[in-house]
Amino acid sequence: MGRLSAFISISELREDAAKVLKQVQASHVPLIITQRGRAVAVLLSLRSYEANEREKELLRL
């Protein structure tokens, strides 16, 4: 993922999930979700996810 990722705590995500989803969709930058200061998950736009899957499939060939 050659782009820099952003970080957000699970608490911040809970506060305004709709806003966070809109930002991820618009920026196509992965969002790393943290819990107790540790990275636990990554949130991607569907477009970014599909592009990553296509790229992985091409690399398998």
Walk along the chain (61 residues) and give the pLDDT tens digit of each residue.
456 779 999 999 999 999 999 999 999 899 999 999 999 999 999 999 999 999 999 998 8
Q: Is residue 1 part of a domain?
A: no
pLDDT of 3 reads 61
- Phi, psi for residue 46 in degrees, rounded to 5: -60, -40
CATH code of the domain in which 42 resides:
3.40.1620.10
Q: Which DSSP string do the residues of 14-32 spell out, in sequence order?
A: HHTHHHHHHHHHHH---EE
pLDDT of 1 reads 43
Residue 5's contacts (CB-CB under 8 Å, 6 or more residues apart) are 29, 30, 31, 32, 42
Structural domain range at position 16? 6-60
Identify which of 43, 36, 37 has the alpha carbon closest to the alpha carbon of residue 6: 43
Q: Is residue 55 part of a domain?
A: yes
Q: Is residue 34 part of a domain?
A: yes
Number of domains, the chain: 1
Farthest-apart Cα atoms in the chain, separation = 43
